[in-house]
Structure 1
Amino acid sequence: MSAEADFCLDGFEPADTDSAEAEQSVWAGDLTVLAEHHTPSGSHSYLLAHDTSATWGVPGEPQLIAIKISRAPGDRTFTFECAPHTVLAFAQSWLIERDCPPDLITQVTTGIAPADDITVQTERKIRDAAGRYEVLHSDTAPDYPYETWTMARDRRAVQDPVRVFLEVDGPGTETYTLREGAFADEEAAMDWLFYRHSPLPESPEYHAEAAARSRAALTRSTGPTVPSQPEAARSAAPSTSTAVQTTVSRPL
C-alpha cells in the first residue's frame, strides 16, 4: 500500500477539457493507493485508492476512487478518467472494464477480509460483470455499525432488476460480508434501505448460483467414479456363457 498517489504527469498536458476537469477533481495528496498497475511502456496507469478527504466531507460520500490515465508521449498529452465507489468490487470492475489486468488490481490489502464464501463469490460476480450493472445510488455509514451499499440496475435481470449490494463489517472481527438483494424498482429498494423491515430479499438467481457452487464443490471433493479392481476385472474378462451376449455400458 502506497502512502500517496503519483499520477506521473510531469511535462504532460490534458488532451481535452474532460480530462482537465477530472484531473483537477482529485488531489493526489488525499489518496492512499490500495492497488495500482502501470503498463511497461508507461502509456497507461490504473489506480485504486482510498480518498481520505471523503471522511471529513459530505456524509455518505464514496471513499474509494478508481482512476485510469492514458498518456501520449509523442505530443505529451494525457486523458484522465475517474469514478468514485463505495464497494471495492465495483471500483475494481470499473478498472477491469477499461482493460486493467484483473489479477493485478485485485491484490488489495485493506486490513479486513471477506467473512465467507458468499462474500467472495458476490465480489467476483461484480468484478466479472463487464458492464452488467448501472450504478444508481450509494452510501457509506460514518458510524457503527459500519456499512456501505451500492444500488445498481442489473441489465441482465429478467425479474427484480434493481439490486442492492450491502457490505457490513463484522462486529468485533476484521471481516466483512457482502450480500445482494433484489427489488422491482428504485422506490422499493430505497424503502428497504430506510426502514429495514425485513431481511434483504435474495436475488432470483441466488438459489441457482448456490446450487451450481454446491455441485462444483461436490465434484471437487468426490472426483470421478472408478470401479473397484474386482469389478473392473470382471468387466474386462471375456464371457464364458453360451447364451447370447449383451454389451452393457458401465461408467468408469
Structure 2
Amino acid sequence: MSAEADFRLDGFEPADTDSAEAEQSVWAGDLTVLAEHHTPSGSHSYLLAHDTSTIWGVPGEPQLIAVRISRELGDRTFTFECAPHTVLAFAQSWLIERGCPPDPITQVATGIAPADDLTVQTERKIRDTAGRYEVLHSDTAPDYPYEAWTMARDRRAVQDPVRVFLEVDGPGTDTYTLREGAFADEEAAMDWLFYRHSPLPQPPQYDGDAAAARSRAALTRSTAPTVLSPTEAARGAAASTSAAVRTTVSRPL
C-alpha cells in the first residue's frame, strides 16, 4: 500500500466544473492507496484508496474511495470522477466498469483474507458483472463485529431484487466473510438490517453457479445460522450513502 495518493495532475487544468469540484472534494493526503493503475500513455489513472478522513466524520460513512482520472494530453486538461464505497468488490466494480483492467485493481494486500470459497465467489460475482448492481445505501460499523454492508438493486433479478451484501470480520482471525441476502424491497432489507430477526435470506437463484450453490449448501449443513445483533450504525442507515477493506475499514485504525 502506498503512503499517499498521487493524482499526477501537475500542469493540468480541470476540463469542466464537475471535475474541478470532484478533485477538490478529495485531498490526496487523506488517501492511502490500496491499488492503482496508470496507462502507459498517461491518459488515464485509476485509484482505489482508503479515506482516512472518515475516521473524524459521520459514523458509518464509506471509507473506501474509487477515483478515475482522464487526461487530454494535448490540451493539458483532465476529467475527474470519484465514488465512495463500503465493500471492496463494489469499488473495484466501479473502476472496472469505467475501463480499468481487472488485474491491477484486484491485487489488494490488506493483511486479511476471505474466510471461504463463497466469499471469493461473491466478490467475483460483483466485480465480473459491472453495471449489474445499483447501489442504494451502505454503512460501516467500526466496532465489534466489525461489519460493513452495501444494499443494491440487482438489475437482473426477477424475484427479490434488493440485495444486501454483508461483510463481517471473523472474530479472532485475519479473515472475513461476504454474504448476499435477497429482499422484496428496500423497506424489508432495512428492517432486517435493523432487527436481525432471522438469518440473512439467501437469493432465490445464484446465477446458475453450481459451485457457489454447493458452497452455500455445505455451509448451511455444517454451520448453524448466526443472527447478529443490531448496531448503532444500522439505525442511521437510511440516511447513509454508499466499506470496507477489512484491515483499514471494518476494524478501527
Normalization by structure 2: what TM-score? 0.83
The change in CA–CA distance for 1:213 and 1:185 in structure 2 (over 3 A counts) is: closer
Cα 1:196/1:214, change in 2 over 3 Å? closer
Q: What are the within-5 Å matches in structure 2 for residues 193-204 of structure 1?
A: 193-204=193-204
Gaps (5+ residues) in structure 1? 216-252
Measured in 2, the distance between the counterparts of 1:33 and 1:207 equals 33
Tell me which amino acid in the other structure corresponds to 1:184.
A
Shift of 1:214: 5.0
Distance 1:62 1:177 in 2: 18
User: Residues 1-252 of structure 1 correspond to what in structure 2 (within 5 A)?
Assistant: 1-206=1-206, 208-210=208-210, 214=214
Distance in 2 separating the partners of 1:214 and 1:199: 18
Residues matched between the structures, number: 215
4+ residue segments displaced more than 6 Å: none
Distance (whole Å) between structure 2 residues aligned to residue 64 and residue 171 of structure 1: 22
Give the distance between the partners of 1:13 and 1:34, measured in 2 at CA: 26
**Partners in 2 of 1:36 and 1:207 — Cα distance?**
30
* Other-structure match for 1:248: none
Matched letter for residue 27 of structure 2: W
Which one-letter code corresponds to 1:148 in the other structure? Answer: A
Higher relative contact order (CA 8 A, sep 6+): 2
Give secondary structure in 1 for the equivalent of 2:41: coil
- Which blocks of at least 5 consecutive residues in structure 2 are unaligned? 216-253
State the TM-score, normalizing by the size of structure 1. 0.83
Aligned-pair RMSD on alpha carbons? Answer: 1.4
| AA at the equivalent of 2:17 | T
CA distance in 2, matches of 1:207, 1:79: 36
